Amino acid sequence: MKTLNDFNFKDKKALIRVDFNVPLNDQFEVTDATRIVSAKPTIIKILEDGGSCVLMSHLGRPKGVQDEFSLKHIVPKIEDILGVEVKFTDNCVGAEAEAMAAALQPGEILLLENLRFHEEEKQGDKDFAEQLSKLGDIYVNDAFGTAHRAHASTTIVAEFFPEHKCFGSLLAQEIESIKKVMEDGEKPVLAVLGGAKVSSKITVIENILDKVDHLIIGGGMTFTFIKAQGGKIGNSICEDDKMELALDILKQAEAKGVKVHLPVDVVAADDFSNTANTQFCDVTAIPDGWEGVDAGPKSIEIFDTVVNQCKTILWNGPLGVFEMESFAKGTIELGNSIANATKNGAFSLVGGGDSVAAVKQFGFENKVSYVSTGGGAMLESLEGKTLPGIAAILD
Ligand code: AMP
């Protein structure tokens, strides 16, 4: 696995695929700069080596060229974070981009306009990738968030750098963290899978059963399992067509020696709203007209014991409807348990969409070992897939 340390960037131009797909407000100001901050170590290392950086990214889902999706809006924020002036070219390929890249001096940074202004980017077009490749001597992929896409800038462009391509430090860290859980995690290994639906996590669950000793299933997924086992779930979210699958997962887990922990009690609400009436009930005895929206106190206690027994912990998906304050306790308490286990030496990885949002919202970001920057990319990794953007560097 080639990383930044395998190259000396002195007098070299690094063509870096970053993930600067950041949220903007209606004044076009960056409202969450995490992704820019995450790319900083790679950029600074190359500049300190005496190299220069050509940065390329997408922003949003433009249809053709649309000013609101221009990366020019984020130039000031990047300059702020890096403390270096950032030049900008309003087309990511073509004569001007090539001339500006050629003129780049050691220590300088050039940001290319939104890659997705060209439909060839998402098509993984080879000619487009070749044009991009003219802008650098060494290709660095540091965009985990798009590593599961075989786009021109994330995958195809690597073909033009057979000997001169590597992972940036962020992507290398993501790969190491997943490996720590999926391959060489210290036992006991625990996965906590929450979120809304069994159907979106099924491949993850099946793949993960070979890697873990304990599996906590929480969130909306719970109720498909409970109903399949004959429990009364009231109006809780449930995928009836996945009940057989749920029973099969439990059987597979048993055969593989994986201990599955489902909630034993829940917070039930009489409405899907923050101001609903609530009661605690046994997970198998939820009255009609009520739905399970969070883990109950007994479940929280059981999960805390399991989490604190484990040395390697993966967390994907909230334990309840954490977006509503009244139903956030289970997710917050799980975060506390994982933070405590981490403090006592466990390795904890949080990844995949909503659990990352929860971790940030409740301030656990620095209390877990690693928070992944990729939603879909993380899920596909947990499903056991080799991501095209990663394979392209390993080739
Ligand atoms: P996912 O994207 O599959 O990880 O699902 C995350 C979503 O699951 C969040 O928006 C939560 O509000 C939702 N969720 C968690 N628990 C429940 C539940 N008991 N009922 C309905 N939705 C839930």
Question: What DSSP string describes 346-375?
Answer: -EEEE-STHHHHHHHHTT-GGGSSEE-S-S
Q: Among the options 360, 376, 384, 385, which is catalytic?
A: 376
Output the pLDDT for position 152: 98
Question: How remote is the CA of residue 317 from the centroid of ligand 1, in Å?
Answer: 7
Output the pLDDT for position 326: 97
CATH for 185-382 is 3.40.50.1260
- Nearest partner of 207 among 242, 148, 256, 259, judged by Cα: 256
Which residues lie below 8 Å from residue 385, measured CB to CB, with a gap of 6+? 148
CA distance 371 to 362: 13
Q: What percent of the chain has pLDDT over 70?
A: 100
| Model confidence band, residue 187 (pLDDT cutoffs 50, 70, 90) | very high
- Work out the mean pLDDT of the chain and round it to a whole number: 96
| Model confidence band, residue 97 (pLDDT cutoffs 50, 70, 90) | very high
Q: Which residue's alpha carbon is at the smallest distance from atom 17 of ligand 1?
A: 220
- Nearest partner of 190 among 211, 176, 175, judged by Cα: 211
What's the rounded mean pLDDT across residues 248-252? 97
Output the pLDDT for position 129: 98
CA distance 251 to 340: 31
Q: Which residues are annotated as a binding site?
A: 19-21, 35, 58-61, 116, 149, 201, 292, 323, 352-355
- Nearest partner of 143 among 259, 68, 42, judged by Cα: 42
**Residue 260 pairs with which residues in a beta bridge?**
215
Q: What pLDDT digit, counting tens, does each position of 265-302 carry?
A: 999 999 999 999 999 999 999 999 999 999 999 999 99
Q: What pLDDT digit, counting tens, does each position of 130-164 carry?
A: 999 999 999 999 999 999 999 999 999 999 999 99
Nearest atom within ligand 1 for CA of residue 201: 3
Q: Do 290 and 235 meet the contact criterion of CB atoms below 8 Å apart?
A: yes
Q: What pLDDT digit, counting tens, does each position of 22-56 carry?
A: 999 999 999 999 899 999 999 999 999 999 999 99
- Whether 320 is a known active-site residue: answer no
Q: Do 320 and 329 meet the contact criterion of CB atoms below 8 Å apart?
A: yes
Q: Which residue's alpha carbon is at the smallest distance from atom 4 of ligand 1?
A: 195
Output the pLDDT for position 395: 77
- Whether 353 is a known active-site residue: answer yes
Per DSSP, the three-state class of 146 is: helix
| Model confidence band, residue 374 (pLDDT cutoffs 50, 70, 90) | confident
Per DSSP, the three-state class of 24 is: strand
Q: Which of 333-337, 369-373, 382-386 ranks highest by mean pLDDT? A: 333-337
- Nearest partner of 149 among 394, 385, 395, judged by Cα: 385
Neighbours of 181 (CB within 10 A): 25
Q: Do 54 and 101 meet the contact criterion of CB atoms below 8 Å apart?
A: yes
CA distance 292 to 234: 8
Q: Among the options 13, 35, 77, 165, which is catalytic?
A: 35
CA distance 58 to 70: 9
DSSP letter assigned to residue 344? T
Domain pair 4-171 / 185-382, same fold: yes
Query: What tokens does 238 get?
Result: 């449930």
- pTM comes to 0.91
CA distance 351 to 368: 11
Residue 355 has pLDDT above 90, yes or no: no
Question: How remote is the CA of residue 60 from the centroid of ligand 1, in Å?
Answer: 24
Mutate to test the pocket of ligand 1, among 293, 354, 382 (most ligand atoms within 8 A of CB): 354
Q: What pLDDT digit, counting tens, does each position of 307-341 carry?
A: 999 999 999 999 999 999 999 999 999 999 999 99
Query: What tokens does 277 get?
Result: 């009436």
CA distance 173 to 158: 20
Q: Which residue's alpha carbon is at the smallest distance from atom 12 of ligand 1?
A: 321
Residue 65 has pLDDT above 80, yes or no: yes
Per DSSP, the three-state class of 82 is: helix
- Whether 35 is a known active-site residue: answer yes
Question: How remote is the CA of residue 314 from the centroid of ligand 1, in Å?
Answer: 17
CA distance 246 to 227: 10
Question: How remote is the CA of residue 319 from the centroid of ligand 1, in Å?
Answer: 7
Query: What are the structural domain ranges in the chain?
Result: 4-171, 185-382
Looking at domain 4-171, its CATH architecture is 3-Layer(aba) Sandwich (3.40)
Query: What tokens does 137 get?
Result: 């001597």
Residue 353 has pLDDT above 80, yes or no: no
Query: What tokens does 302 get?
Result: 């059981």
Q: Do 310 and 189 meet the contact criterion of CB atoms below 8 Å apart?
A: yes
CA distance 296 to 240: 23
Nearest atom within ligand 1 for CA of residue 321: 12
Per DSSP, the three-state class of 257 is: coil
CA distance 40 to 45: 8
Residue 373 has pLDDT above 90, yes or no: no
User: Whole-angstrom distance between the N-terminal and C-terminal Cα of the chain?
Assistant: 9
Residue 207 has pLDDT above 90, yes or no: yes
Q: Among the options 353, 374, 375, 389, which is catalytic?
A: 353
Nearest atom within ligand 1 for CA of residue 194: 4
Ligand 1 shell residues, CB under 6 Å: 195-197, 200, 219-220, 237, 292-293, 317-318, 320-321, 323, 353-354
Report phi then psi at 350, rounded to 5: -110, 130
